[in-house]
Amino acid sequence: MKRILSVALCLAMLLTCFAVGAVAEETANPYEVDESLSGTFTWWTYFDQAPFLKEQFEKKYPNVTIDLQVFGGDDYQTKLMNALPTGQDVPDVFDLEEGYVYKFIDSPLLADLDALGLGEVCNSYYDWAVAMGRDSNGTLKGICDNVSPVAFWYLRDAMEKWLGTSDDAEISAMLSSWDAIKEKGLEIKEKSNGEVYLWPNLSAMVKVAGYSLTPIARNGKVAIEQGWYDLLDTMRDFWEAGIVADLGGWSGDWATAWNNGTLLIRVMPSWDFFTDWSINTGNVGVAAPFMASYEGGTYRAIYANSEKTDLCVKFLEFLTNETYQLQNLYTNNQMPANKNIAGLLGPDYTNDNFGGQNIMKTYDTICNNIADIVPDQYTRGLQNKFSKYAQAGIKEGKTNDEIIDTFLADIRDTYPELDFSNFN
């Protein structure tokens, strides 16, 4: 879930990452120790919270050592892509990010996790989270330990002032359609004399709707359903009404406006690096959007020719268990992929950083409503390109057809292997 950010923003990410979750009570060891397993295996990743998982696994299996190697940015993907085919210096376990998981997942160099018995341990997972780890034949090749449902992030005091409530269910009900969001956006713009905005930018609309619409490419063929044209119309309507703050997502201005209450909503996954917890601890809330979606994901795979398969299987099995995923939630605010966690925590679970809200209830609602759309290697990339050309075209006053033509010209060049016969 790496992004290219400024040095200052990267520093802010690292500082706030550890503040966001409610820290669990210190325990000597929450796991039942197993000293029967021993050995060493190598794990490659780009994920900066990997040391936490290493530490937790080694608490349960003290005679096992993980040789963890963390690589940054695009170097990681390139290094992995060069290593796998050669069989030289290949890790036993390696991580794949949602944005490029499909470059690797069909390879026979990734172990069949179903054959290793790991499919069964994912039976308690959200279905869509498992689907992302399956190849084009439906074989499980990667397993995640957390999910990233997209929510409306808000400040409680700002919402009380402008919407009259800070309750997440009431906010969701108020913002239950694009029309309802537009209406509230207009009200807030008028009341604040144009100084406060409800909605951040046009790209956030694609982020909310993207996984509720039929993917633009299915089975190798490009088709654009009416819903994408309707979304263009809605985006244009918001823009012409002047209710969009037009702050670039993940930008410093966007984060600052939200933290000081002049931008009321950030559309963000459950992993958050932009809250200023020094001033907003206890003041944050998350509400379920009227369409359910997710952004990001880290999947762990096993090298098919690894000589440490037994250790690797135990490692992937460990990260699916409820005890570890609870620790990851408490310490790092990582939302569990295991849907049993919401039930284990129960209706009385609260998070002090989020004003005592039961954030697991909110995220569980989102996760259970995500459409049954199995993504492929084109899904996220085409969504991102659609968002790019939709924003630019609307701001330039282009028609839907002009926007779609520009979009198609790009993806013809980017994905020449796709079938564009619907547009010939």
Q: Is residue 188 part of a domain?
A: yes
Q: Is 14's pLDDT higher than 50?
A: no
The answer on 411 and 281 residing in a single domain is yes
Pairing, β 150-155 against β 146-147: unpaired
Tell me the residue ranges of DSSP E strands in 276-359.
284-287, 298-302, 335-336
Q: Is residue 194 part of a domain?
A: yes
Query: Do 386 and 228 touch, CB atoms closer than 8 A?
Result: yes
Q: Is residue 368 part of a domain?
A: no
The answer on 416 and 285 residing in a single domain is yes
Mean pLDDT of the residues in the chain: 92
Residue 28: the pLDDT is 73
CATH number at residue 418: 3.40.190.10
Q: Which of 84, 93, 66 is nearest to 312 (CA)?
A: 93
CA 402 to chain centre: 31
* pLDDT tens-digit map of 259-278: 999 999 999 999 888 999 99
Q: Is residue 370 part of a domain?
A: no
Measure the CA–CA gap between 244 and 263, rounded to whole angstroms. 10
Measure the CA–CA gap between 95 and 76, rounded to whole angstroms. 10
> Reduced to 3 states, what is the DSSP secondary structure of residue 74?
helix
Read off the pTM: 0.90
Q: Which of 295, 287, 288, 296 is nearest to 354 (CA)?
A: 287
Measure the CA–CA gap between 266 and 373, rounded to whole angstroms. 24
The answer on 107 and 66 residing in a single domain is yes
Neighbours of 25 (CB within 10 A): 6
Confidence of residue 175 (pLDDT cuts 50, 70, 90): very high
Query: Do 95 and 47 touch, CB atoms closer than 8 A?
Result: yes
What's the token pair of residue 368? Answer: 């259970």
Query: Do 110 and 301 touch, CB atoms closer than 8 A?
Result: yes
| Backbone φ and ψ of 132, nearest 5° | -65, -20
**Which one is predicted more confidently, 239 or 371?**
239
- For residue 361, how many C-alpha atoms fall within 13 Å in the half-sphere facing its CB? 14
Measure the CA–CA gap between 294 and 297, rounded to whole angstroms. 9
The domain boundary residue, chosen from 360, 395, 410: 360
Q: Is residue 85 part of a domain?
A: yes
The answer on 67 and 123 residing in a single domain is yes
The answer on 299 and 289 residing in a single domain is no
Q: Is residue 64 part of a domain?
A: yes
Average pLDDT in the 221-230 region? 97
| Backbone φ and ψ of 252, nearest 5° | -65, -40
Q: Is residue 192 part of a domain?
A: yes
The answer on 92 and 14 residing in a single domain is yes
Q: Is 247's pLDDT higher than 60?
A: yes
The answer on 180 and 299 residing in a single domain is no
Q: Is residue 365 part of a domain?
A: no
55, 151, 169, 324 alpha-carbon torsion, rounded to 10°: -10
Paired with 153 in beta bridges are: 266, 286
Residue 21: the pLDDT is 40
Domain that holds residue 59: 7-148+295-360
The answer on 120 and 251 residing in a single domain is no
The answer on 129 and 258 residing in a single domain is no
Residue 15: the pLDDT is 33
Q: Is 336's pLDDT higher than 80?
A: yes
Measure the CA–CA gap between 380 and 99, rounded to whole angstroms. 7
Average pLDDT in the 35-57 region? 96
Could you tell me the maximum CA-CA distance found in the chain, to the nearest angstrom? 68
The answer on 314 and 410 residing in a single domain is no
Neighbours of 193 (CB within 10 A): 7
Q: What is the number of structural domains in the chain?
A: 2
The answer on 266 and 143 residing in a single domain is no
* pLDDT tens-digit map of 384-408: 999 999 999 999 999 999 999 999 9
The answer on 126 and 16 residing in a single domain is yes
